[in-house]
Amino acid sequence: MQNRQWKLISRPVGLVKRSDFEFVATPVGEPGPGEVLVKVQYISLDPAMRGWLNDSPSYIPPVGLGEVMRAGGIGAVVASNAPSLAVGDTVTGLTGVQEYAIFNAGAINTLLMMKVDPQLAPLPRYLGALGLTGISAYFGLLDICAPKQGETVVVSGAAGAVGSVAGQIAKIKGCRVVGIAGGPEKCRYLVDELGFDAAIDYKNEDVRAGLEKHCPRGVDVYFDNVGGDILDLVLEQIARNARISICGAISQYNNLETVQGPKNYLSLLLNHARMEGFVVFDYAARTGEALKDLRGWVAEGKIKPREDVVEGIDTFPETLNKLFTGENFGKLVIKVAAA
Amino acid sequence: MQNRQWKLISRPVGLVKRSDFEFVATPVGEPGPGEVLVKVQYISLDPAMRGWLNDSPSYIPPVGLGEVMRAGGIGAVVASNAPSLAVGDTVTGLTGVQEYAIFNAGAINTLLMMKVDPQLAPLPRYLGALGLTGISAYFGLLDICAPKQGETVVVSGAAGAVGSVAGQIAKIKGCRVVGIAGGPEKCRYLVDELGFDAAIDYKNEDVRAGLEKHCPRGVDVYFDNVGGDILDLVLEQIARNARISICGAISQYNNLETVQGPKNYLSLLLNHARMEGFVVFDYAARTGEALKDLRGWVAEGKIKPREDVVEGIDTFPETLNKLFTGENFGKLVIKVAAA
């Protein structure tokens, strides 16, 4: 049995290219003691993956040259040498971009590996609103920003996986929510389907004017997925005691130049405001708390999850780039086996 | 009786020039009901004053063209129409850069106007460690950063008025304190006289190497007075859960170009760290709390105040620029009447 894998062979400059990887088939391994073999069904595409390709220190080591590309995923246990998992169980974890993954079952019930019930939700949702994506939105908004009822919350990358959940959680908390997204279709979706109070189409509208119009009392909370110019425009319009959650900076990840720092950061001084960053792994110990709320909100229809499924593991490099060109809509995943 | 005043006549570009102001003499005014006339003895020079000269929105309106330059100061009441203040009382407040100021005594016992005892400390100290400067250091360090015993605290502009007090407070709280200052004399002063654990001379040393050497476990708290490249270098070396207090950005205030944003701000994300700004007026309601501690620490010798007194109100433009060229050492004040 063969395992098709995407391995990194050179460090990308800007958007990834197919030639930065090799797509190889190797024999499927045997799970050792305490391990399970998982047939990967869906792979999660996340902006952070671009950072893992750079040879620079970060919260986890970069993907090494010659290594299988790191990624989250979900699949079924097809062989088990661990008492805690049986053949047929469905698990999420860092599968990598490959058809088969071997996990040490000792990591079960951590952020790195969760057993989930495939009957309760479509599998891709466990990579999205009911997975690390939802958990990121949950803590990045609630723990970092503590939004209060009636406050104005702005979310960038608002039609993306994390942003769309963060905005919906802010609505649940009684906030006025303004999304920033690219294109009229995404903006309509935010307002008409997700119940955002307003949306600003950064590709076709003046973002400064949009913020002035939709945030007349200033921005109390900003959940930032994009960085760059939009972060600076929001900094111009923060309210006193504003909180900014730095979840990501997708506009900067493929930069050929240095990262663009927020030139308006002194607005933090003028407004007694703060900017705080996080990664989801910071909250590993509190996963249960988030998932309990997220499951409830999805069940009640207060969070409407959306997944954007691309078929075929062979599409990996181009599919990853969709995150950075703004082509995805909701949680982007690859369905490993094409239809 | 004449009142010599410095009035703003054009908005400076870069460092202020004498020709941006006019130095005029006008008749001394009469205090109206509830007002007092104060003979100004010392004028405070603060980096924030440069910001007040720009025609841009801020926490207080810019100084208007034709208006007396705004500044803090201290002086003696020479005529009183207010029951709360008598002739001979000493008060601090926003005197402006002039020889005589009229205050509404209704503001007494606020950050804008405090009655002080000239027997307990030299007058310039009430503009420094026992005034807004000390209060800035106190809340900017303790409220924004909550340093814990054993943590590593870095202070930039460490030989300046606010930085030197912030560093000494961090020592009182049991932290390892590293100052960044310009020149060997200032660095020796920080270590030998103020008890800092180390100092980095940014004019003659490699700041990155200095931080690596003196902060082997990373920077837990950064009290930033300077912004610019030094902020970026510290961001490279923050520890997990670091707190950065944005007190000022003196390297940027005379910028002819746009402000330099911190290109390493994503270090906040990687380290679950935060950056928060403040101005001293945010803490108006808690002044007493700070002054009680500051008075005690000065009395016990745990804070060694230092004032840098320049004689003569006629020196104002050049004296203000000393803040930005790094020539001052401790709290910079003008003694209004030259010896």
pTM over 0.90: yes
Contact list, B264 vs chain A (CB under 8 Å): 259, 261
Residue B130: the pLDDT is 97
Residue B339: the pLDDT is 60
Sheet with B238-246, strands from edge to edge, namely A198-201, A176-181, A152-156, A219-224, A238-246, A274-277, B274-277, B238-246, B219-224, B152-156, B176-181, B198-201
Give the pair of three-digit tokens for residue A87: 């053949």
Mean per-residue pLDDT, A50-59? 87
From residue B32, alpha-carbon distances to B3, B40, B105 in Å are: 17, 18, 11
Angstroms from B247 CA to nearest CA on chain A: 7
Mean per-residue pLDDT, A223-252? 96
Percent of chain B with pLDDT over 70: 99
Per-residue pLDDT reduced to its tens digit, B58-109? 788 999 999 999 999 999 999 999 999 999 999 999 999 999 999 999 888 8
User: DSSP alpha helices (H): ranges in chain B?
Assistant: 48-52, 132-145, 161-172, 184-188, 207-214, 228-235, 267-270, 287-299, 316-325
Report residue B123's pLDDT band, with 50, 70 and 90 as the boundaries. very high
CATH 3.30.70.600 assigned to B2-127+306-335: no
A·B CB contacts under 8 A: 104
Mean per-residue pLDDT, A72-101? 96
Per-residue pLDDT reduced to its tens digit, A107-166? 888 888 999 999 999 999 999 999 999 999 999 999 999 999 999 999 999 999 999 999
Judged by DSSP in three states, B163 sits in: helix
Residue A236 has pLDDT above 90, yes or no: yes
* Residue B68: HSE in the Cβ half-sphere, 13 Å Cα cutoff: 19
Angstroms from A281 CA to nearest CA on chain B: 10
Mutating which of A269, A270, A271, A282 best tests the B interface, going by the most B Cβ atoms within 10 A?
Answer: A269
Residue A109: the pLDDT is 80
Least confident of A224-233, B35-44, B109-118: B109-118
Percent of chain B with pLDDT over 90: 91
Residue A339: the pLDDT is 60
- Interface pTM (ipTM) of the complex? 0.93
Phi–psi pair at B35, nearest 5 degrees: -110, 160
Angstroms from B57 CA to nearest CA on chain A: 9
CB contact under 8 A, A275 and B279: no
From residue B225, alpha-carbon distances to A231, A266, B168, B253, B264 in Å are: 23, 11, 15, 11, 17
| Fold that domain B132-281 belongs to in CATH | Rossmann fold (3.40.50)
Residue A254: the pLDDT is 82
- B157 vs B224: CA distance, rounded Å: 8
Mean per-residue pLDDT, B154-163? 97
Residue B58: the pLDDT is 78
Residue ranges of domains in chain A: 2-128+306-335, 132-281
Non-local CB neighbours of B239 within 8 Å, separated by 6+ positions = B152, B217, B218, B219, B220, B271, B273
Report residue B335's pLDDT band, with 50, 70 and 90 as the boundaries. very high
Report residue B57's pLDDT band, with 50, 70 and 90 as the boundaries. confident
Residue B110 has pLDDT above 90, yes or no: no
CB contact under 8 A, A259 and B258: no
Non-local CB neighbours of A288 within 8 Å, separated by 6+ positions = none
pLDDT mean across residues, chain A: 95
* A259 has a chain B CB within 8 A of its CB: yes
Residue of A nearest to B264 (CA): A261
CB contact under 8 A, A272 and B276: yes
CATH class name, domain A2-128+306-335: alpha beta
* B124 has a chain A CB within 8 A of its CB: no
* B61 has a chain A CB within 8 A of its CB: no
Residue A56: the pLDDT is 82
Contact list, B246 vs chain A (CB under 8 Å): 265-266, 268-269
B132-281 and B2-127+306-335 share a CATH fold: no
* B108 has a chain A CB within 8 A of its CB: no
Partner-chain residue, chosen from A249, A269, A277, that has the shortest CB–CB distance to B278: A269
